[in-house]
Structure 1
Amino acid sequence: KTPFEVGIDTDSIGGPSAGLAFTLALLDELSKGSLTGKVKVAATGTINGDEAVGAVGAIPQKAIAARDSGAKLLLVPAAQSADDIAAARRIGGSRMRVETVASLQEALDILRGLGGDALPDSTNDE
């Protein structure tokens, strides 16, 4: 529970596949700076209470949508099949890098490598 209201428009979302994207977006909004280093990033995957990122469906279609929206990086669950990951990388080609992540921390580490700002060590710092 947050000490303020969080509104997310989920009308066009069918299922839990935006869990990682929602989590990263919320962390970005709640922290100083930019988690992505101002690079356009897309992400898909479920996320559970221990911050593990889970597999989702329709990875090729999501890769097409991410590429066509101008994303330079697509984060996908490491739990996806090898065929899904290979398809996403083919679709991304030279326009969009595709990285696999098994956890929220792995996603944050990749974003930090793009020049993104680190999160504070604790949400109680401020």
Structure 2
Amino acid sequence: MTTPAKPRSNYHRGRDLEHRVRTHLREEGYEVLRTAGSKSKVDLVAIKPGQILLVQCKRSGALPPAEWNALWDLAQMVGAVPVLAEQLTRGRKYWRLTARKDQPGRPQPMAEVLLGELAREAVLS
């Protein structure tokens, strides 16, 4: 008789998402640094010539205002692109943060983005 598998913890599922996003970014030509642990403003730093992404990975696709604004402010300070990576049933979706999250109850200020679009923007700027 086999022992039933233990359910995976939220930490492990979040870490797995970070690893999948890191792998995908590397496949897209980014050098990726992972900041292990959940206490950082950023899960991943992805670097290409002329482009830095600060990535927060969330299975829910939602960031509380304090985390959102910390990521936004840090990206503005260093000239990086703030990105939220959301886990989908199949695959993931990337969102570019477009403003601070200062109005409670409003939709998150973000726009879906494809990694190739970000690379083209960096070349054009």
TM-score (norm 1): 0.37
Structure number with bigger Rg: 2
Highest RCO, 1 vs 2 (Cα 8 Å, sep ≥ 6): 1
TM-score (norm 2): 0.38
